[in-house]
Structure 1
Amino acid sequence: MKLLPKTLLALLLLGCLGSVSQADMLSSNVFFGSGNSNQYFTVSQAGGVEIGMRAKLRYDPNDGNQPKNFDQSSDLGYAIEEGSYYFSTPNYGTDRAIWNLDWSVNSDFNQGTPASTTNKLSAFTYNINFDFDPAGAGSNSSTNYNPVNELYNDNSYGNKTTTSANDVTPGPLVFGFIPTAPFASDLNDDYTITQNSTNVGFSGLLPGTVTQNGIYTITFSVLDGLIPIATNQIKVYAGVNPPAAVPEPASMALFGMGVVGLIGGGAARKRLKQKREAANSNEG
């Protein structure tokens, strides 16, 4: 299949950018595990779709390796730009990063209002691109994966009013590879929101980078076929000093995306990071 002409693609991306809004909270609840708060997210909204991402301290060395809802930027004296997250060291162990990516995608964030699109999750395709730029010697590493896999995933599913007390998850695997009911494909047909928390060293997602200092650029894209509907992007600085914050709001440029040769669009305002407060332990 031929790629879209550059002029047409640019117009489509401008359409996505035109309705993007920014926030630190999802328009829905956070329900993928008890103790996970609705804060410190980088959120984009376009085409009726909302994408939220944050990087959090999965293994807190000062609290028995208990998970937190925030990064280490404030604790270490950094006030950094919106969409950026900082950790003093990249790794917890040989195959796990010290941080997790928390993500949420809502296929109809206007659900229950006149502006509702009525789109369920199955209306779109999804991709998360992890791009790692090591500090010092080395070459970039990049990988893509579908976080809303229809064959099997362990995501939490729900709608706008769902909480961690009544979310739904796919059935377990039998013999390690045979999915059981409820099936992910059925949940994608029934629900508008799915959420999860992912460690970059888990399940083969760039496992070799978790011991290296560097910058992760993470791009979450929602597509209708080859047409980008919504895109969000964050940067994770692991063992690398983040850039200084810009004190006034500003728009981000178009984001790069490698999965299908397309370019995703998104914007996020700059802000000083809020003072991190102690939070309840949460599931990773």
Structure 2
Amino acid sequence: MYSILLFFISIFAGLLGSLLGLGGGIIVVPVLTLFLGIDIRYAIAASLISIVATSSGAAASFLKDHLTNLRLAVLLEVGTVCGAIVGFLLAKSVNSSFLFILFGGFLFFSAVMMLRKKEDHRAEFDHPWSQKLKLAGQYTEKNGELILYKVAQVPVGLGAMFIAGILSALLGIGSGIFKVMAMDGAMKLPMKVSSATSNFMIGVTATASAGAYFLRGDIRPEIACPVSVGIIVGSYFGARLMPKMPAAIIRKIFVVVLTIVAVQMLMKGMK
């Protein structure tokens, strides 16, 4: 009965996360901890397992469409994996109260970012690192238009990915919003490329973090299995529903939900 409850809750989390491109982890961790009383470390570990599964499916689709910049993803993963290792080491000495407060703060940050209008910020000049590593790329729009783009401020992007890796390991999230922000805002990549490359990286980062949690014994199969399967099912239906639903209304409703959950997480952490 308990596993069935986890399964249906995770379907709901995966559905909402998929509709807004946030992933189910940012929803399922607060639900498991606030409403089911599951230890936040076990909820984080289960969330990381689900992120690996959901990211793999979406990443394959983006690779097929040539939106993912693999060269850039491999370089930036150096920063995220190093950050994930640091985050895991920090998690050993961080108490649960701090994790609740940190997660609440991240939810507030996510809510604010979702209210921003997403526009492309194209780089005018290619960074020297980008020139040497040949990071600039291209993709074709649905209408046949060829889009060429350059990559700016590569060191800043690496630093941002290090922070994203720490957040991923500490909170059990893909930290996709943070990654997309860095690639879109600092590195001046097209939004489609930022989102696709971030999705590819999320799975790798989560794998590194999940492996560390597995070695520490924080992955509980009775929690991780129904959560992972539920989020995969929910993400599938979310992807099918997304084109049929008004995005603006969903975004506004979800910002309210994120804010309410953030307040609850902060209050629990402060207790």
Under a length normalisation based on structure 1, what TM-score does the superposition of the two structures give? 0.30
Under a length normalisation based on structure 2, what TM-score does the superposition of the two structures give? 0.31
Query: Quick check: which one's strand share is greater?
Result: 1
